[in-house]
Amino acid sequence: MHVAIYARHSTDKQETSTQDQIRRCREYCSVKGYQVADVFFDEGISGSHIANRPGIGALLVAALNGRFEGVVAEDLSRISRDQADTANFFKKMMFLGLPVETVTDGVINELHIGLKSTMNALYLKDLSDKTHRGVIAAVLRGGVPGGQLYGYDLVHALDEFGEPIRGKRKINEEQAEIIREIFEYYAEGRKLKHICDDLNRRGIDSPKGGKWAPSSLVGSFVRQTGMLRQTLYNGVVTFNKMQYRKHPENGKRLSIMRPEKEWITVPIPELTIIDDETFTKVQKALDERSSKHLQRKMIPTVMTEEEKRETSIRRSKEWRRTQAATKKRANAVFGGKLYCGEHNQKITATYAKHYSCPVKGCANRNLHYDEIIKLVLDAIADLDEVKIIQHFEGDEIQQVRAHHAREIERLTQHLEDLRASINKVIDALGPDARSKEIRAFFDDKSELIQRAKLDISRHQRELTEMTVPKSLDRIIQRHNNLVARMRVWSRDPKAVVPLRNIVEKLAISNSWDDENQVWHRRCAATFDFAGLSVDDK
């Protein structure tokens, strides 16, 4: 009888290689009087799934072509350790009339398929449990699971029993400084792209040796990965976050997030790189930015055209408020914000240090820079706690705040009603809630719920922006310090940029003094109080 030999050597520690298995199968065939027609094997591939194995795939094709009359393997586990795969392979061979034999059990029948396949599947489960327990034991002994981690070097160490401690690490001070710098920049509010560009410009290699990218810093929000979320930098190793399963159809290994209550954390204070305060601040910023990013992606799908237009206008105003923060040379603090109080026209530069209203005959013509800057600084210095409080507690702001508060209350109740209606339908229909009409009903309700959540978030954000900033005394002190710096040097960029962020408009008005035959000028400042509150944050 012409037979085919199949051998497989797994990724786990096997006592025999494929060549050892093939030699043993040849000896078995020689004793049985079989002629070996072909040999198929898979080297270094796990037996947990039969899919994506080229060796056994080629064997099945050869079997369909009738190139042999039976199959010989060292053991049934070499074909597969999965019960369903083993039974499926056996059924195919029986359909083609090809007996399956193993060196250990001889001719395979249904009894072998049931008992041996169960034992092989239990072996895989036991191996997985032992590996998991080994990881936990290594962590409790001071090791850290996983491969190389940026900021640390692997250390060869032994425990009290002389056994090697797998995953033992020590801090790499050079890389630790880079990590501290990244955390501090992110906590200050810098963009990920700017942080990465700065590191790349300085020639600092990323953890994988290439260029830095934002994804290496934040990873995945859903899977809680990325350098900025690495708890070991805060002196705590977190593991058991992921579990790995093989897809039943294609055998591909998939990672699945475990519930947070199943995560295991072990403090390792000697590996701390980032202090608690900075780490907590960064985690909060990560959650806020991830939430805003998700909202930015989802909001356009449920917004009307009018709401999209309003959002675009609001973002433009926010951009204009912050666009002055630039590394370029600072211009005058009143640049683009200075108006004629009589004609409401912009006062612009005409020639060196001279500015004019465009209306001929206006008193605000041929004004010198030194005269303007003195008037402007006096107007800006007029900001105090009373003006800030009066703005936020004014009737107009209070009416808007009340509107947002009412909308939040109404939308919250609307959201609860939507959820209650869905629960009623589910309770009433139970397992029958699968028809096309019912699915359409749920889709509509889901969109309404998402829209309500986004509206609540928008009203809450706008309500927060209309609240009196905290630490008013600190804000005013900082403001006065900036004005004082401007009086020393009127183009000091460290004072010009923050002051431009809170000044919305400057208007120069005039009055004629008949007695002394001179113009008396004064400047009035209109402040962007929303910009003031943003600076406070």
Spatial separation of the C-alpha atoms in residues 274 and 480, rounded to whole Å: 35
* Ordered alpha helix ranges (H), 141-191: 173-187
Strands 70-73 and 2-9: parallel
Helix (H, G, I), strand (E, B) or coil at 427: helix
At 451 the pLDDT is 79
Spatial separation of the C-alpha atoms in residues 405 and 226, rounded to whole Å: 37
Q: Which long-range contacts (CB under 8 A, 24 or more apart) does 181-187 make?
A: 182/217, 182/227, 182/228, 183/228, 183/233, 183/274, 183/278, 183/279, 183/282, 184/278, 186/217, 186/228, 186/282, 186/285, 187/278, 187/281, 187/282, 187/285
Residue 119: both structure tokens together: 């034992």
Q: Phi-psi category of 93—alpha, beta or left, where left has phi over 0 and alpha has psi -120 to 50?
A: alpha
Q: What is the DSSP string of 458-497?
A: HHHHHHHHTSPPS-HHHHHHHHHHHHHHHHH-TT-HHHHH
CA 244 to chain centre: 21
- Burial of residue 381 (CB within 10 Å: 0-12, 13-18, 19+) is middle
Spatial separation of the C-alpha atoms in residues 267 and 142, rounded to whole Å: 9
pTM over 0.75: no
At 409 the pLDDT is 92
- Measured in residues, the chain has a length of 537
Q: φ and ψ at 252, to 5 degrees?
A: -75, 145
| 525, 380 Cβ separation under 8 angstroms | yes
At 326 the pLDDT is 47
pLDDT below 50 — which residues of the chain?
12-13, 47, 324-330, 533-537
Q: Which residues, 6 or more positions from 150, have their beta carbon under 8 angstroms from its beta carbon?
A: 175, 179, 207, 227
At 49 the pLDDT is 61
| 29, 5 Cβ separation under 8 angstroms | yes
Spatial separation of the C-alpha atoms in residues 371 and 376, rounded to whole Å: 9
> For 431-449, b where at least 16 C-beta lie within 10 A, e where not — what string?
eeeeeeeeeeeeeeeeebe
Q: Which residues, 6 or more positions from 309, have their beta carbon under 8 angstroms from its beta carbon?
A: none
- Kindly report, residue by residue over 504-535, the tens digit of the pLDDT: 899 999 988 888 878 889 999 999 887 664 44
Spatial separation of the C-alpha atoms in residues 401 and 389, rounded to whole Å: 14
At 47 the pLDDT is 47
- Burial of residue 268 (CB within 10 Å: 0-12, 13-18, 19+) is middle
- Burial of residue 147 (CB within 10 Å: 0-12, 13-18, 19+) is exposed
Distances 325 to 101, 319, 328, 497, 501 between C-alpha atoms, Å: 77, 10, 9, 6, 8
Residue 316: both structure tokens together: 């433009």
The H or E element containing residue 111 is helix 110-140
Spatial separation of the C-alpha atoms in residues 455 and 462, rounded to whole Å: 11
| 376, 334 Cβ separation under 8 angstroms | yes
At 346 the pLDDT is 93
| 532, 388 Cβ separation under 8 angstroms | yes
Q: Nearest CA to 189 among 325, 289, 275?
A: 289
Give me the sheet containing 106-107, strands edge to edge.
Answer: 35-43, 2-9, 70-73, 100-102, 106-107
At 249 the pLDDT is 56
At 162 the pLDDT is 64
At 449 the pLDDT is 81
| 29, 3 Cβ separation under 8 angstroms | yes
At 328 the pLDDT is 45
